[in-house]
Amino acid sequence: MKYAGFILLAVLAIIVVLLLVAVINAIRIKAKPAPGKATLDFTKEEEKMYAEKLSRMVKIPTISMRGNTDLTEFYKLHKVIEEDFPLVHKHLEKTEIQGNLLYKWVGKDSSRAFLLMGHQDVVPAEETDWKYDPFSGEIADGAVHGRGAMDCKCTVLAELSAVEELLSENFVPECDVYLAFSANEEIFGGGADLIIDHLEKNNVNLLSVLDEGGTIMEKAFPGVACDTAAIGIVEKGNCNIKITAKGAGGHSSTPPKNTPIARLSAFVNEVETKKPFKKYMDVPVKQMFSSVAAYASFPMRLVLGNVWLFKPILVALLPSLSSFGEAFLSTTCAFTMCGGSTAPNVIPDEAYVICNIRPSTHQDADASIAVLEKIAEKYDLKVEPMNRRSASKVTDPEGEAFSYLKQCINEVRPDVCVTPYYMAGATDSRFYERVTDNCLRFCPVKMNPQQLAAMHAANENISTDNVAAGVKFYKYYIRNHK
């Protein structure tokens, strides 16, 4: 008993010391806003001009659909771009590859280059509750409305506008600058690969790539009052998987046990309720929390600034707090499609579900699929991966490319905190790992919760002042890039 009491006191002493260290550390990392002055000034006339140009782009329904090779709408968009950005088309070398666009701006030093990118295509707009027609490009309520306004024609518009203005000022960049706009990003169609094939053929290696991804978000983290500029440094993998059940069909009046749909239902229920994928806090997530901690209220700063101590608690609690928490810590699985009998009174002899999984950096595509295969075996189901892609490489948040982007944000938006971001979604930038070690995913516009929710949904829009701010940010980024 004497030794047990001593051990208990020792454990309590260690806990007190650890908590004291954590408190001191939280006090030491009190927020220090980045210095700088706002440089994103623009006139009302400029704001109106950018909005009208974006509106013209949104009006063209450049919808990408699997199996559809008709590029008519994309060529209409190319015509609009040519008309609205004459200096770009006069001074930059343009390459068009199956609807995908690449522009080269020769700088003072052609041994170095960086690339800005976006995509021309949009997802379908089949929702019925749009306030404005999804391809009207309506400018109302201080915003441009329509499919692609945010994802991602605003990026294409802002990058082209920034270059157009710099050309009008006779500016010459320090190194070569490329603009790349694929035509099938939304369907993982490989347009970016075609562009990269062209770059490799011409022996182009890039200092960095800047694509869509993270944005400036309101209330991104609990306890953080300021807006957060989230720079994606890694994106999770993406796999579509078909799970099939076979059995004896028949009439629904005499149903046997363990029908294909019953077994599939049991499988889906187990995956949904037991969350079988490994939960782990990878380095990018730790870096994200550490960066945000300096801007958080003291209770959150205590936790996020001491991940070394509170990591087990965060790993245990985050998945139950939000879907984002689960996505940060593990492979996720969403069941998206299903099929079976074509009649309500017929038991199918074969049924299926399709799920989309997003493999984490610590559990790659093969390992994540293996988890599902093990569960499926219990229910006599067949697992067929339709595609498999593991998570991307991680861009170093201490490297020059990330540091320069962070510096630009700090200088033009000193009111926001900047953090590396672990992306659950997919972008074209992952393809560019063939020609660069620095794939950055950040769109310099502010998005409120409604705009975030409207991505790939009804009432997609972007405020006109944010469009203008995006133009000025890219202009600053290009002008100051060494």
Conformational region of residue 424, where left means phi above 0, alpha means psi within -120 to 50, and beta covers everything else: alpha
| pLDDT value at residue 40 | 83
pLDDT greater than 90 at residue 159: yes
Least confident among 8-12, 36-40, 281-285: 8-12
* pLDDT score of 17: 65
What integer pLDDT is reported at residue 467 of this predicted model? 97
Q: Write the pLDDT tens digit of every residue in 169-211.
A: 999 999 999 999 999 999 988 899 999 999 999 999 999 999 9
Identify residue 314 by its one-letter amino acid code. L
Provide the 10 A C-beta neighbour count for residue 209: 29
Structure-block tokens of residue 345? 């009174």
Comparing CA positions, the residue from 377, 366, 371 lying closest to residue 275 is 371
| Residue among 129, 77, 83 at smallest CA distance from 101 | 77
The yes-or-no verdict on residue 34 having pLDDT over 60 is: no
| Cis peptide bond upstream of 152, omega within 30 | yes
The per-residue pLDDT for 107 is 98
pLDDT at 321: 77
Three-state secondary-structure class, residue 382: strand
Are the C-beta atoms of residues 335 and 353 closer than 8 Å to each other?
A: yes
If you compute the radius of gyration of the chain from its CA atoms, what whole number of angstroms results?
25
Q: What does the pLDDT read at residue 324?
A: 85
> Is 35's pLDDT higher than 60?
no
State how far the Cα of 30 lies from the Cα of 259, in Å rounded to an integer: 60
Q: How far apart are the first and last CA of the chain?
A: 69
For the chain, what percent of residues have pLDDT higher than 70? 93
pLDDT score at 4: 65
For residue 385, report the phi and psi dihedrals to the nearest 5 degrees. -65, 130
CA distances from 389 to 67, 320, 364, 469 (A): 21, 26, 8, 35
Give the pLDDT band of residue 378 (cuts 50, 70, 90).
Answer: very high
pLDDT digits (tens, 9 = 90+) for 389-417: 999 999 999 999 999 999 999 999 988 99
DSSP 224: B
Residue with tokens 């997003």: 358
**Residue 471: pLDDT above 90?**
yes
**In sequence order, which residues have a C-beta less than 8 Å from that of residue 236 and are 6 or more positions away?**
327, 331, 332, 358, 359, 360, 361, 391, 422, 423, 424, 425, 426
Give the pLDDT score at 30. 63
Cβ–Cβ under 8 Å, residues 149 and 460: yes
Structure tokens belonging to residue 125: 């707009």
Query: What does the pLDDT look like over 413-431, one tens digit per residue?
Result: 988 999 999 999 889 999 9
Return the ∠ at Cα 420 (arms to 102 and 214), rounded to 5°. Answer: 50
Euclidean distance between CA atoms 226 and 232, whole angstroms: 19
Contact 40, 55 (CB under 8 A): no
Query: 381: closest CA among 372, 390, 371, 389?
Result: 372
Query: What is the predicted pLDDT for the residue at 305?
Result: 86
Q: Using 50, 70 and 90 to split pLDDT, how confident is the model at 31?
A: low
Q: Identity (one letter) of the amino acid at 366?
A: D
Sequence-separated (6 or more) residues with CB below 8 Å from residue 292: 220, 221, 224, 228, 304, 417, 419
Q: Within 13 Å and on the Cβ side, how many CA atoms surround 293?
A: 23
Domains of the chain with bracketed CATH: 44-219+394-480 (3.40.630.10), 235-385 (3.30.70.360)
The count of other CB atoms within 10 Å of the CB of residue 117 is 27
* pLDDT for the residue numbered 28: 73
Beta bridge partners of 241: 355, 385
pLDDT category, 68, cuts 50, 70, 90?
confident
Using DSSP's 3-state secondary structure scheme, residue 226 falls into: coil
Q: What is the pLDDT of residue 237?
A: 96
Alpha-carbon span 79 to 452, nearest angstrom: 30
Q: If we measure between CA atoms, which residue out of 445, 464, 449 comes closest to residue 140? A: 464
Q: What is the mean pLDDT of residues 375-397?
A: 96
**Residue of higher predicted confidence among 420 and 450:** 420
What are 434's two structure tokens? 């063939």
In this structure, what token pair is assigned to residue 461? 């829009």
Tell me the average pLDDT of the chain. Answer: 92
Q: What is the DSSP string of 271-320?
A: HHHH--SPP---HHHHHHHHHHHTTB-HHHHHHHTTHHHHHHHHHHHHHH
Question: Does residue 57 surpass a pLDDT of 90?
Answer: yes
Lowest mean pLDDT among 12-26, 229-243, 308-322, 457-471: 12-26
CA distances in angstroms from 118 to 57, 182, 193, 291, listed in the order given: 13, 7, 14, 27
* Residue pLDDT, tens place only, 267-277: 999 999 999 99
Which two structure tokens, joined as six digits, stand for 459? 């009432």
pLDDT band of 348, cuts 50, 70, 90: very high
Q: Tens digits of per-residue pLDDT, 353-375?
A: 999 999 999 999 999 999 999 99
**Quick check: helix, strand or coil at residue 444?**
strand
Lowest mean pLDDT segment, chosen from 37-41, 187-191, 462-466:
37-41
pLDDT score for 273: 95
Mean pLDDT of all residues in 144-164: 97
pLDDT: which is higher, 22 or 433:
433
- Check: CB of residue 379 under 8 Å from CB of residue 271: no
- Please tell me which of 14-18, 319-323, 384-388 the model is most confident about, judged by mean pLDDT: 384-388
Q: 238-277: per-residue pLDDT in tens?
A: 999 999 999 988 888 888 889 999 999 999 999 999 999 9
